[in-house]
Structures are given as structure tokens and as C-alpha cells.
Chain A
Amino acid sequence: MPKIKPRVPIGKQSPMERITNFDSVLYGYTEDQAVEEASRCIQCKKPKCEPACPVTIGIKEMNLLIAQRKFKEAYLLVKEDNAFPACSGRVCPQEKQCEGACILEKFGQPVAIGRLEAFIADWGRTHEVEIDEIKANNEDKHIAIVGSGPAGLACAAECRKYGYAVTIYETLHKPGGVLIYGIPEFRLPKAIVEKEIEHLKEMGVKIELNHTVGQNIYYYELVSQNDAVFLAMGAGAPKFMGIPGENPMDNVYSSNEFLIRANLMKAYRFPEWDTPINCGNKVAVIGAGNVAMDAARTARRLGADEVHIIYRRTRELAPARKEELQHALEEGIIFHERVAPVRFHGDDDGFIDYMELVRMELVEDEDGNISPEPIEGSTFYMECDTVIEALGTVPNRLFLDRAPDIKRDERGVIIVDENYMTSVEGTFAGGDASSGAATVIKAMGEGKKAARAIHAYISMHDTSHRQKVQKVEV
């Protein structure tokens, strides 16, 4: 084995600079850098990277085309399998997928597949490469999609290619789901997401904003007006710890609230923008996933001097993307391992003042599952003026309560068969709504596969007599 060259480094804002703004941390590869990095790929006979990609992008060939400076061809190749590569290139947990499987991982550093994907997507977008996408005219058949996150968008793009009339219903005033309201600007610039959505609209996809299915438009109406329905509401309701003192304590936020204020409502530009956010100087973020990192780094950028990550397990077990955890640490965020809050204490005005915590040990049970257990007598205290609970999210009951025909498990996760069909014929589901909180790329992959299943269903069935579902209203 010849000596493997290290990865081509990527330009980024220095930690001290970037905590003063919300701009993208990474500058992205230049053409020359991308060519050099793509040339590191050894063109395996049996590439291990591709099967590890949830949407099986032709990674090996993408690398070859970039190395040969055939950027347009590389862009078209990636777009075949992934409608939104500019997003996934930036947010996929590559170390657990393509890059984790890349053969070069064993000999040092894997090919920077994510960065190359983002590069080629940006290249295609800035060079306005046109793709002739719509393959047929089936506009007499209507498909309703609930939710405009990655699953809904990917499904819409694919359904439109088959020529169907597609309408997305979105509860917020901006489309994009987590890509817009959750993941911060410094990780995924909103202009990129907006451009991808603009393209979808140009393809003829209709997006009805401010439409909350189950509230101001009902599931039974969608069923009666459409040939198929795709449920892609995500799993967007926050979880709270439910510990004493939490009963709403001021400046204790769910990560969703904190990030929606900051990202969707641009509270970091308050008072120029109207939505406020209280972010103190000493912030504690509970959890260590992507959401926790995003919240912690947002707090840092909002001016917090100290930001603490409070995690029950060890840093190695943190579920966040490796790069984000590393970026967070570079930005001065302090990681506390094996600790958990047990009580909040507030001041007289109801604002959080300090937390009571315990230390945890990791205990292995007979089946080899490791779970954190509190260590007796290990109580300690930590002052803080802001707490953000990033404990993960669950499906929003607002929709589920008014669609009783849709079978779901005890957590509210919608049950689907191998063709993404729910318990109601003609209604499909994908993304976090049917898999629980997962990843952007998984949601996109499911949206696309569900679109194919919807196409097969409409092609093979008479959808003119609509399914009967219960009429449940508010």
C-alpha cells in the first residue's frame, strides 16, 4: 500500500472569528481543491462507500468525474440519486456512512466525500445547470404531501418528475422543515435551502404555507381530494425532562424553541427582526446530539460567555456528527460527561438560577446494553441563567389526534409497510414521521422511494373512489 496523502484541508472561519457571526463555518472546496481531494480516491473495484450511502449515490464515479474536472457530469450523476446534495453534503453523518466505510479510512483519512458532494452541488447551482426532469403528464392525478422537510421535498420532486399535480401543505410560514427552522445558518446557509425549494416550485410543485393539517385543514379532506397522500410531518414536538422545578421555569427552553427563535425567526438579528430570545451568559445545554451542538453553538454566537454541554454518557458516545462536536469544542464549549440534572432552582421572578445535578456511571446489563445510572451521594450544583433541553423530539400529536385511522406505535411513530403505505390505503408516510427522529438523508431517501411506490400505486389502482376515513375536526 503506497503512503496515503492526507485530506485536502478545507477553508474555514477561525473559532474566534466565527463565534461573532452566523455565517457558514466552512468556505467549501475550490475547484482545484476538489480535484485534488477527488484524486485521492483509489477507484476501488468494489467500492465500500456506495452501499453505506442511504441513497446509494455513485460516489466512485462522482470522484472520478470531479478528478477529471467533468463537473457538470458529476453534478448530473449526483442529482440522479439525491435531489438536495447541497444539504446532505453538509449535514450527513458521513463518518457513520460513506466515509466511515471508505477503504482509505483504514490507512488514515477517508476521501472527504461529504465535502465533495457539497462542492459539486454548489457548482451545479451556481452554474445553473438545467435538468430536464418532468418525464410525463399526469396532472389529472393529485398528490398531497403533509410537511415540507427533506422527506416531503424529496417526495414532491420525484412525484413531479412522474408528472403528477403535487401540493405540499406546511404549517410554518416558510418551507424546508428542520433544514430551515432547526439547523443553523452557520452549518447550512438558508439561501442554499431556499434555492433548492425555488427550483421545486419552478418544476410546478405547489406549496401551501400556514396550512396545519389537523387544525385548519383536515386529513379527511386531503384524502377525499387527492389520489394519494404522503405524510412527512417529521417528529417535531419537544420532549422535556419532567424534573422538579421545571414546571415552566423562565429561560428554560426546548431546543426546538431556542432554534426556531434563532433560525426561523432570526432572533439573532433582534431588534431589527421582531422575535426576541433571552440568552444569558452561562448556558447549559442538556444532551449531546446534533440538536444539542446546534443549540450550544447558537448560544455562543448569541454572546454567551460560557456554554456547557451536560451529557449522561461519555463524549465518545455522543450521537452528534463528529465534525460538529469538534467545531463546538473549538468554539470553547465545555463538555461535561456522565452528569444529569435532577432539579431546577429559580429566582423570585421565575428565572432559572442554578441546577442540581448528579454524576452518572455507565452500567452494563446482562444483554450488554450500557445505560447510565446515578451515583448515590454525588449531587453537585451548577449556576446557569439559561437552560436548553435537547433531549430529542417526538411526533406531534396535533396531526395524529385528528387522523385516528392512521396506525402508529405507542410513541406516535406512524407504521408503514415495505412500500411506505400506512394502514390507510393510498396514504403513505416517510421521514421522521414514520421512523422517529433520524437523519436528513434517510428522510430524503424515504421520500423518494415512497414517491416511486405512490407512482406504482396510482398506476395500478383505480384511485377515483376515495378511501373512507373518519372526519375528526378540532
Chain B
Amino acid sequence: MPFAITKMIDLDSMDYLVDVEAPEIVERFHPGQFVMLMTRKEGERIPMSVMKAENGKLTMFIRKLGKTSKELRDGITHFENVIGPLGHGIKEKAYGNVVVVSDAVCGQAENYAICEALSKIEGNTITSIQTFPSEKEIYPEEYLAKALADQHIITTEDGSFGEAGNYITVLQKMIDRGEKIDFVFGGGKLPTIKAVSTVLAKNNIDNLFTTRQMMVDGSGMCGACRLYIDGKMKLVCVDGPMFDSRKVDWDKAIKRYNMFKKKEKEANDYYEAHKGGSK
């Protein structure tokens, strides 16, 4: 059953780019949906964003932080399991003036996928804003949404390249200039989404943001991914992964996302101490 990793590129940034062979999933994939992967039999079921689903292969960005990326670094050749597609994709239609924003792995992938899908549909004018911590972390051009968007803007949090600040700075300027924005898609760090949600609410802009949350089964059986939308419980895996950012209880969602922080460190330390030995 293993899924072969056909390409792994060190993006020389915070992330790896990985291609994995999964034709059954590719065939049914819609932009905005996600997959889960298990690197090994003993692995966790980890939700992952998808940048491209083409020619039988899924392309993903994987953050060089968790244990998964260390396994990649150490040369695993396949994933034990890839599951999906999960969740809902976006409605592929004409939105008008669309802005797509992102500032972390889960977000940059969707930025590309959504720009690609919407650029094929007449009636969409797309602005893509991609935020990186600094110049060093910016992806090579072919992995940015640059060629897909009508306007592409890079921002860096430290101001070392492009616009200084995150995507909110640019979005706010667009609003201040009176530019018409019909819809915003986005994803990335939850605190940024929380911050942008007030901007979007103030200006009454419809939007959908990919909302990361920890998951176990990814099909509505455990409730781990529960969120509160307008006070009602929703599941990111079944009802999401994209929600109107104005309606999410972000404070709770952010705290919950960090519920296993200590355990993640433990897993990392254990891996580094045992690598090679325990496989």
C-alpha cells in the first residue's frame, strides 16, 4: 500500500516540497480539500494541504519543524498511507475581484491551488499575497502563485524583501485605496487569521479561510477538530476546512491548536535520539 515519494526538494526555506504518487486521490481532488498522511505504520494521521494534484501526484509543502520533516530529511522513500481527499473544496466559479492570502505552509499550498483553479474561470481578477518571515524563506518562483495571479505581492515579516509586514498590511492598503474586493480566500497562521477577520468584518468582505486544527480520524468520528462557528459546534474535517473567518471563535481555536505542543517536542527529541535505531 505504500505511497512513493517521487520528488523531495529542500526549498532552502522553512519548508520542503514533496511529490507523492496517489492517483486515486488526485483523480477526485478539488482545490481547498486536504489529505492526511502517515509516514509509517506507527505514524500519526497528519492533515496536509495540497498545492497541486496532477498527473497522479500530489504536491505538498512540509514544514521543516515537526518529526515528519526529519523523516524526510533522513531519506524516507514513501509514506505508509495517504488518505483523502478530505473536506470540501472551493466553489470553482466567478467571484469577481478575488484576493488570496497566506503566511504559512498550510495556506501557501492553498494559495497556489486556489489561484490555479480560479485563473481558469472567466470573471476572476486575482490578487495573490504571500507572506514569508524574511527574504531567505521565500519559495523559488515556480512554487509561488506568481504566474497564476493577475497581481502577485510578496511581503516579509521583517521587511527584508517586498512589502514589510504580513498580508494584512497589503489588504488594508487595498481597502484604504477603495479597491473593490469581492472575496478573500486565505490560510496560514491562526493568529493572523484572527487579526484579519476583524478587518474583513469591518469592511463586510466575504471570505473563506483554511482553518488548521489537530485531527485524528478526519471523518467526523472523534471531535478533536471541533470549532465554534457563531456559537455552534462544527468539525473542521467534515464541515471545513474553510470557514468564514468572521464567525470563528479564534481564541479557543488558537489555544486548542497548541494543546499538544509539549508532546510534539517530546516526539522530536525521541526521534533525534533514536533515529535509525527504532525503524
Residues of chain A touching chain B, judged by Cβ–Cβ distance below 8 Å, are: 171-173, 181, 209-210, 212, 215-216, 236-238, 240, 242, 247-248, 250-251, 253-254, 256-257, 260-261, 265-266, 269-278, 349-351, 396-398, 474
CB of A276 within 8 A of CB of B249, answer no
Distance (Å) between the CB of A207 and the closest chain B CB? 11
B239-276 to A contact mask, C-beta < 8 Å, 1/0: 00000000001001101101110011011011100000
- Docked Cα-Cα span, A372 to B226, in Å, equals 29
Knowing A216-B25, A240-B233, A248-B227 are in contact, say whether A350-B219 is a contact too (CB < 8 A).
Answer: no
Whether a CB of chain A sits under 8 angstroms from the CB of B208 is no
Inside 8 A of A398's CB, which chain B residues have their CB?
219-220, 238
Inside 8 A of B40's CB, which chain A residues have their CB?
274
Residue of B with least CB distance to A242: B233
CB of B259 within 8 A of CB of A251, answer yes
Q: Which one, A216, A261, A273, A396, contacts B28 given CB within 8 A? A: A216
CB of B256 within 8 A of CB of A210, answer no
- Docked Cα-Cα span, A277 to B44, in Å, equals 11
Whether a CB of chain A sits under 8 angstroms from the CB of B42 is yes
- Docked Cα-Cα span, A276 to B266, in Å, equals 9
Distance (Å) between the CB of A267 and the closest chain B CB? 9
CB of A274 within 8 A of CB of B252, answer no
Whether a CB of chain A sits under 8 angstroms from the CB of B222 is yes
- Docked Cα-Cα span, A374 to B270, in Å, equals 48
B16-38 to A contact mask, C-beta < 8 Å, 1/0: 00000000110010100100001
Q: Which of B206-232 contact A (CB under 8 A)?
A: 216-217, 219-224, 226-228, 231
CB of A247 within 8 A of CB of B252, answer yes
Knowing A216-B28, A266-B42 are in contact, say whether A250-B223 is a contact too (CB < 8 A).
Answer: no
CB of A273 within 8 A of CB of B42, answer yes
Knowing A240-B223, A248-B226 are in contact, say whether A210-B81 is a contact too (CB < 8 A).
Answer: yes
Knowing A247-B249, A250-B259, A261-B216 are in contact, say whether A271-B270 is a contact too (CB < 8 A).
Answer: yes
CB of B28 within 8 A of CB of A256, answer no
Please list 9 pairs of residues, one from A and one from B, whose beta carbons are closer than 8 Å in the complex, sorted by A's number.
Answer: A173-B81, A173-B83, A237-B223, A247-B228, A257-B223, A274-B44, A275-B44, A276-B260, A398-B238
Inside 8 A of A210's CB, which chain B residues have their CB?
81, 83
Inside 8 A of B256's CB, which chain A residues have their CB?
248, 250, 350
Inside 8 A of B270's CB, which chain A residues have their CB?
271-272
CB of B86 within 8 A of CB of A256, answer no
Distance (Å) between the CB of A137 and the closest chain B CB? 29
Most buried by B among A254, A266, A396, A474: A474
